[in-house]
Amino acid sequence: MTQADAVASLVERRLGRALDPDLNFFEAGFDSLALVELHEEITGTLGLKLPVTAMFTHPNLRALANLITQGEAPTRQDGGARRRPLGGSRRDVRARIREDGR
């Protein structure tokens, strides 16, 4: 299974159904918090160094898969361990987006 296939599987599992690869994540039913949580799952499971902003600048499965398969999303050197726990409040999520988006 490729990393792009693994991402598609994680997205579809979280959504609970198959997803058209060109359908925008927001149109599919995700909101900002769900995308941040999905980002944490993708980076934690696959060990990718992927900024959280990628979930918004690559807003569908096809675009996200292209980012990953084109080698623009390098593997993290820390073995995929999370840098910090996922914050639950909107303030925490916004701070993470600003921090990761630099």
What is the C-alpha to C-alpha distance for residues 86 and 88, in angstroms, rounded to an integer? 6
- pLDDT of residue 4 exceeding 90, the answer is no
State CA 82 to chain mean position distance: 13
Question: Which helix or strand (DSSP H or E) is residue 24 part of?
Answer: none
- The pLDDT-based confidence of 33 (bands split at 50, 70, 90) is very high
35-85: per-residue pLDDT in tens? 999 999 999 999 988 999 999 999 999 999 999 888 654 444 444 444 444
- pLDDT of residue 32 exceeding 90, the answer is yes
- pLDDT exceeding 70 applies to what percent of the chain? 77
What is the C-alpha to C-alpha distance for residues 102 and 95, in angstroms, rounded to an integer? 11
- Statement: the pTM of the whole predicted model exceeds 0.85: no
pLDDT at 80: 43
What is the C-alpha to C-alpha distance for residues 30 and 37, in angstroms, rounded to an integer? 10
